[in-house]
Amino acid sequence: MRRFPALALAAALALAPLAAKAVEPDEILSDAKLEARARAISSGLRCMVCQNESIDESHAPLARDLRLLVRERLRAGDSDDEIRAYLTRRYGDFILLKPPLKAETLALWGAPLIVLVAGAAAIVAHLRRRAPAAPEPLEAGEAKKLDEVLKRDL
């Protein structure tokens, strides 16, 4: 009886990586090699609805359609690069979770750096405005009055 919780825990840990995937049983290819290729391709494609998930992880209907399209193209004999090129022609470089570095995608690669630099500049400007200005030196008459007041209070 004590082995059951340990076996259940081991099974849950073994199946945990599969639980995050949104691939439905009816999508899975019977050929294990083709299915592995489909998963590898799908994990690098962005869901156009969710945008922060791969189509392999997304439950959106469009992601399912794209997974089916990838599998259909694999069955037709397309290579991995041909499938990525087809989807890139259809949806643009944004469909790739790691878009290539080229002139058209420079904004995708540079935007985080630009936001970081702009944020740092805003913080520095704010801190400089908040810094107290150095006090002006007292005039001779003011210094004399201050000394008198301090001597009186002692």
pLDDT tens string 17-73: 444 577 888 888 888 999 999 999 999 999 989 878 999 999 999 999 999 999 999
The CA distance from 19 to 132, in Å, is 56
The CA distance from 112 to 100, in Å, is 16
- Put simply, whether the predicted model's pTM sits higher than 0.85 gets the answer no
Both tokens assigned to 45: 């494609």
Interval 80-131: pLDDT, tens: 999 999 999 999 988 999 888 888 778 777 888 999 999 999 999 998 888 7
Find out whether 66 and 87 touch, Cβ atoms under 8 Å.
Answer: yes
Query: Residue 74: which pLDDT band, with cuts at 50, 70 and 90?
Result: very high
Specify the pLDDT at position 16.
45
Both tokens assigned to 88: 């890139």
Show the DSSP H helices in 20-105 as ranges: 32-42, 61-75, 80-91
Both tokens assigned to 112: 């985080």
**Which residue reads 């990838």 in tokens?**
70
Strands (DSSP E) along the chain, which ranges?
none
The CA distance from 154 to 138, in Å, is 21
The CA distance from 92 to 85, in Å, is 9
